[in-house]
Structure 1
Amino acid sequence: MASRDLFQLSGTWDTALANARQHCDNMMQSIGADPVTGDIFIAQVAEGGSATGNICLNRIDPWTGQNTGSMHLNGFGHGYQIGVQHIDGKSYVWTEAGPVATKLSPSGKPVAFGTRVTRVLFNPGKYDLTMESTGTSKPFSTPFRPTLAEYPGHLAYGCAPTVDPVGHRLTIRFELKKQLSDGTFDDAGWFYAQYPIDPATGNVSGNLTRWTKSPPSSDPGAAHIYGTNFQGFASCGDYLYLYTGSKTTPANPDPDDTYITALAWPATSGQRATIAHAQKITALSELPAREPEGLAVTTVGTEAKLLFGIGGYEEPRLAAVCYVSTAPSVEGIRAYTDWLDLAAPAVTRATLQGRLIEVRGSTTLQLRGSFTCDLSTHTRVATLPAPLIPSGPIRAIVARNTGSSHVACRAEVTSAGELWIHGAGPEDRITWIDLGGFSAAWN
């Protein structure tokens, strides 16, 4: 199955979400995606909740870019990684769970992380969950703390989950520590463990499938993983992906250290993972203030997408999500999206659509659909869905009714996603347009 293949990290990336507003003003921490609805979930630390482990979950409609709901998880953790499942028509979010353990950030501030993981029913606006919630109708699963038989007496800290919708596995990242008789701790390092998911019911088994560790810091090929910030992880098939990198600062406006690293799960459980590919990420480098945040895998048909988040530091702190895909190229053409409907309330008896494709390494926006109108000046006629919105204006010539010797007009898509038609005048009215000729480079 093609979606189990290694993502071509050096290939063309595209934008799944741009300028998404979150419920809180804090930076995004992680992302996840519902593989059925396509909704993108963003976790962030709630206002004033860093030391107490309060997380805010946001649900973003990828087609409109609108925040369609949020909920708070108080005392759960930092939200540095989440996973999403779709079960019985509802979205469930895997996240950290308390009791939390705090550690000091580089600036000396206490930051709380979960010591377990749990699955939460996403139910926006109905409650602020706390780890002390009781009763048989508790809206989250019994918190689970991973253990490894090879490390007796060690306890897991910094636990965080992600979901592989292709291999049907839950992967948990955690640090193992054991308190010694003198009060100090034996730190065994960071681990990744997988547990099977029943694809029919969505239930997760507690039976460990396999576990691994990252390559050691002494490995020359792994140097970029260490000495910078860990920003997320994901697993798809037989590959584990790590996201690392620093935020921009006035003193360091271009850290140039953001990477996605693909690790091959070892054939034997317990062995270290090996690096299959490491790719420097330069997506959205034009943003004046940015930080890599969050990694996730979702599916589209028989293919998979690796989503990676980028948070903005300027107020308001908006979120962007980019992706690479396993979709194959056919005769030099790769379709990144299906045909998506444009919002065109003034257009009747016609459907306007757009899609993104790759043609010989270049991403192209295509539009289609014809409609009647009565334009006497430049006019906005439609709005593109969020996945198709470019970072800057793009233009193409499209067919129109014959008038004043003109048989074509200019169509322009703005960075706000608006489709404008130019060239009409009081003496040269445009009454019919065919978008089929719109094909332009997209970025």
Structure 2
Amino acid sequence: MILNKLKSGVRPMLTGKRLFMVVAGIAVLCLLPLVSTGISAAKSPLKSKMFDLSEPAAELIRDKALHNGTVLQSFAFDNVNQHIYVVQLMAGGQQLPGESAPVSGANRDKNGDLTLTQLDLTGNELGYMFLKGFGHGVQIGVETVGETAYLWTETDSVTEGSSGWGTQLARFPFENGKIMTPSSPELEKHRLIEGADRTTVNIDPANGLLTMRYRKDGAFRFGVYALEQVNRREYVPVADVPQPAVGTFQGFASYGGYLYLLEGNSYGSTGSVPPTGNTYITAVDLNTGEVADKQLMSAGDTLSFREPEGMAVRLPDVKHPQKAELSFGFASDFTPKRLANIYSLDRLLPEQAIEE
């Protein structure tokens, strides 16, 4: 695939015979069969500019404490009310109401117990929730309705190996201090694809889209849906693409026609040596499933530990959704007090044409 800039210029008007030929040509194309490529065709193309992954990233928050001292797993923005929501595995040693004794961190992980922290945009804690039996927290999303932030997460955790993983999606309002379980009445569940597991979710606030990462028949894929249709329980994807080959998967976000994947390991892991590390972001064209770009991220290279965790799209001004930021996180510092860091890319490349 070669990316070329669109040529500018004035196009002649189509009239008479030329117009008839164009219309006839379109009619013929509509009759041609679709070729099966493993990519589900969209009802209409998902369009947007692509983030420039080669630009330096700006720091949004650095070394901020969360409600628990575990590694942040993922995060999302409430762009209307200017809040950040961060999810992490629940710390060991806590005893919540209804529990007969403190629970170890290993059992919290196995059970899929999560802690959700609400921050302001400077990283100060404003509130928290506990989510018992939800999953691993690989990615979350936020849907804002007025002053209420609805969290989108995985739920109905099933243990696989040493961790719990969600099997469907959940939507619920943030309520400070609340303890939620998969049976909580406030929880609205959505099973978008029968037989799928390892379900995680992200919201594209600029385009009103919900993207779900899921595993089916042993393979990971990403389904993109109109958020308002999902809320009506109409589960018809506008795109569905396979996950390309990546390293250690750490989060994802979509913006219009592109999907962004975060991968990498903490300093000291195989292949991750300071200050370079091995944190990459890959851009995937949601209309074709092809990789459009992949870049090494140098942001936060002076952080201790520095494990990439989570992605989200931020809208600094909701009145101008075309001026978006692609954000990605890092966990820093050491147990038992891991800290949260978020960096953002804000340059969008000019629209480009794909030449086969």
Quickly name the TM-score band, shorter chain normalised: 0.7 to 0.9
Structure 1: how far apart are the matches of 2:349 and 2:81?
Answer: 23
Question: Which structure features the higher share of helix residues?
Answer: 2
Aligned to 1:229: 248
**SS of corresponding position for 2:166:** strand
Aligned to 1:294: 310
The Cα of 1:328 is off from its aligned counterpart by 9.1
Q: Of residues 158, 167, 174 in structure 2, which corresponds to 1:101?
A: 158
Tell me: higher relative CO, structure 1 or 2? Use CA pairs within 8 A at least 6 residues apart. Answer: 2
**SS of corresponding position for 1:50:** helix
8 A contact 1:74–1:129 mirrored in 2: yes
The Cα of 1:207 is off from its aligned counterpart by 2.5
Structure 1: how far apart are the matches of 2:269 and 2:282?
Answer: 27
Task: State the Cα deviation string for residues 316-372 of structure 1 (Å, max 9, x = none).
Answer: 21100000114799xxxxxxxxxxxxxxxxxxxxxxxxxxxxxxxxxxxxxxxxxxx
| Alpha-carbon distance change, 161 to 250 in structure 1, aligned in 2, over 3 angstroms | closer
Aligned to 2:187: 140
RMSD: 2.3
Aligned to 1:115: 167
8 A contact 2:328–2:343 mirrored in 1: yes
In the alignment, residue 85 of structure 1 is paired with which amino acid?
E
**SS of corresponding position for 1:68:** strand
Task: State the Cα deviation string for residues 398-437 of structure 1 (Å, max 9, x = none).
Answer: xxxxxxxxxxxxxxxxxxxxxxxxxxxxxxxxxxxxxxxx
TM-score by length of 2: 0.74
8 A contact 1:35–1:85 mirrored in 2: no
The Cα of 1:297 is off from its aligned counterpart by 0.7
**SS of corresponding position for 1:155:** coil
| Alpha-carbon distance change, 204 to 11 in structure 1, aligned in 2, over 3 angstroms | farther
8 A contact 1:308–1:323 mirrored in 2: yes
In the alignment, residue 116 of structure 2 is paired with which amino acid?
L
Residue 52, structure 1, aligned to residue 111, structure 2: yes
Larger Rg: 1
Aligned-pair identity (%): 29
The Cα of 1:34 is off from its aligned counterpart by 0.7
Structure 2: how far apart are the matches of 1:327 and 1:29?
Answer: 26
The Cα of 1:202 is off from its aligned counterpart by 7.1
Aligned to 1:175: 215
8 A contact 2:252–2:311 mirrored in 1: yes
Task: State the Cα deviation string for residues 74-117 of structure 1 (Å, max 9, x = none).
Answer: 0011111000111121111100010x22222xxxxx10000001
Structure 2: how far apart are the matches of 1:123 and 1:62?
Answer: 19
Question: Which structure features the higher share of strand residues?
Answer: 1
Residue 164, structure 1, aligned to residue 216, structure 2: no
Structure 2: how far apart are the matches of 1:288 and 1:299?
Answer: 29
Residue 308, structure 1, aligned to residue 328, structure 2: yes
TM-score by length of 1: 0.60
**SS of corresponding position for 1:300:** coil
In the alignment, residue 222 of structure 2 is paired with which amino acid?
Y
8 A contact 2:142–2:152 mirrored in 1: yes
| Alpha-carbon distance change, 250 to 172 in structure 1, aligned in 2, over 3 angstroms | closer
Q: Of residues 227, 231, 238 in structure 2, which corresponds to 1:197?
A: 227
5+ residue gaps, structure 1: 105-109, 148-153, 178-186, 218-224, 268-272, 330-443
Structure 2: how far apart are the matches of 1:202 and 1:117?
Answer: 12
The Cα of 1:314 is off from its aligned counterpart by 2.0
| Alpha-carbon distance change, 10 to 253 in structure 1, aligned in 2, over 3 angstroms | closer
8 A contact 1:85–1:202 mirrored in 2: no
Structure 2: how far apart are the matches of 1:296 and 1:250?
Answer: 25
Structure 1: how far apart are the matches of 2:241 and 2:331?
Answer: 29
The Cα of 1:38 is off from its aligned counterpart by 2.2
8 A contact 1:5–1:326 mirrored in 2: no
How many aligned residue pairs are there? 282
